[in-house]
Amino acid sequence: MSKNVVDAVDLTKTYQMGDIQVNALRGLSLKIKQGEVIAIMGPSGSGKSTLMNIIGCLDSPTTGRYLLNGENVAELVGNELAEIRNRQVGFVFQSYNLLARSSALTNVMLPLRYRRNGHELPKSKAEELLVRVGLQDRMRHKPYELSGGEQQRVAIARALVNDPAIVLADEPTGNLDSKSGEEIIELLMGLNQEKGVTLILVTHDPRVAKHAQRTIHLLDGRVENE
């Protein structure tokens, strides 16, 4: 039986904007098993970004419980949250978020530099991942020398380099044409099947969501339906 890699119970998130209190999440609960592919969908203001930030340890809930790969992270802040994030979460963003003046290989190795124990994995791990995403001949190229699809492949390799518990992909095909977008989704699905990567797709695109085993629709900070 697969364990829950994400176990969130009654999450709330409240922001104060001047005199107005905004309830971005309203008692949201969610469980994701190891190796699952989940799509999270919903209109603007539904709580997608807030939920992604909490699952990805970029932010903490106001109230509620959140276990990531068995670790209680709901009450962590600052450096503690950053350490968990670097160890347990891989990110793939719509805008790639690559260092413009660094090679593909250097970009993939970047998360290794933030390991608290100071032990870096050998460069061969990053090279192996770049080969896996089809960039064996582009390792020394900088982002401006790569197509959008190739840049996203670099971002996927970077997301996997620390063997994270989950990979969070936020609109991973949003800046790509349909052909490149389909190739990126096929690549992510292949990594899920081969490596058992737990994949969370935050998307508004039903063509992306159709690849998921479960689609979770949010509305007004709650799970509307699955």
Please state the CATH superfamily assignment of the domain spanning residues 4-225 in this structure: P-loop containing nucleotide triphosphate hydrolases (3.40.50.300)
pLDDT digits (tens, 9 = 90+) for 107-123: 999 887 766 554 555 68
What is the reported pLDDT for 122? 65
CA dihedral 102, 97, 89, 208 (to 10 degrees): -130
What's the sign of the alpha-carbon dihedral 51, 53, 54, 60?
A: negative
pLDDT digits (tens, 9 = 90+) for 155-181: 999 999 989 999 999 999 999 999 999
Burial 71-85 (b: 16+ CB within 10 A, else e): eebbebeeeebeebb
* Torsions phi, psi for 70 (to 5 deg): 90, -5
pLDDT digits (tens, 9 = 90+) for 16-63: 888 999 999 999 999 999 999 999 999 999 999 999 999 999 999 999
